Amino acid sequence: MHIKRPEKTSPECIPNLLALRDSLELLGGKWKLLIVLHISCRPKELQHFKKLEKEITGISAKMLAKELKTLEENKIVTRTIQNTRPVTVTYALTAYGESLIPIARDLQQWGLNHRKIIKEK
Amino acid sequence: MHIKRPEKTSPECIPNLLALRDSLELLGGKWKLLIVLHISCRPKELQHFKKLEKEITGISAKMLAKELKTLEENKIVTRTIQNTRPVTVTYALTAYGESLIPIARDLQQWGLNHRKIIKEK
DNA sequence: CTGCATCCCCCATGATACTG
DNA sequence: CAGTATCATGGGGGATGCAG
Is the pLDDT at B10 greater than 70? The verdict is: no
Calculate the angstrom distance between C1' of D11 and CA of B66.
Answer: 21
3-state SS, chain A, equals CCCCCCCCCCCCCCCCHHHHHHHHHHHCCCCHHHHHHHHHHCCCCCEEHHHHHHHCCCCCHHHHHHHHHHHHHCCCEEEEEECCCCCEEEEEECCCHHHHHHHHHHHHHHHHHHHHHHHCC
The pLDDT mean for chain B works out to 87
**pLDDT tens digits along A40-83:** 987 777 899 999 999 999 999 999 999 999 999 999 999 999 99
The predicted structure's pLDDT at residue B4 = 43
- Please report residues contacting nucleic strand C, using a CB cutoff of 7 A: A 48-50, 53, 61-62, 65-66, 68-69, 79, 86-89; B 29-30, 58-60, 62-63, 66, 86-87
Check the CA dihedral B44-B48-B50-B56 and report its sign: positive
Residue nearest C16 (alpha carbon to C1'): B62
Is the pLDDT at A90 greater than 50? The verdict is: yes
Contact between A27 and B107 (Cβ < 8 Å): yes
CB contact under 8 A, A118 and B27: no
Calculate the angstrom distance between C1' of C13 and CA of B60.
Answer: 9
Nucleotide nearest A62, from its CA to each C1': C3
**Which residues in A1-33 are b (16+ Cβ under 10 Å) and which e?**
eeeeeeeeeeeeebebbebbbbbbebbbbebbb
* Cβ pairs bridging A and B (under 8 Å): 142
Residue nearest D13 (alpha carbon to C1'): A63
Percent residues over pLDDT 90 in chain B: 70
Calculate the angstrom distance between C1' of C20 and CA of A4.
Answer: 39
Mean pLDDT throughout B93-116? 94
Burial of residue A104 (CB within 10 Å: 0-12, 13-18, 19+) is: buried
CATH topology of domain B30-119: Arc Repressor Mutant, subunit A (1.10.10)
Note the strand D nucleotides within 7 A of protein beta carbons.
1-6, 13-16, 20
Mean pLDDT throughout B32-46? 90
**Which chain B residues have a beta carbon less than 8 Å from that of A55?**
14
| Predicted model pTM | 0.88
- Alpha-carbon gap, residue A112 to B21, rounded angstroms: 10
A43 vs B103, more confident:
B103
Check the CA dihedral B94-A21-B29-B19 and report its sign: negative
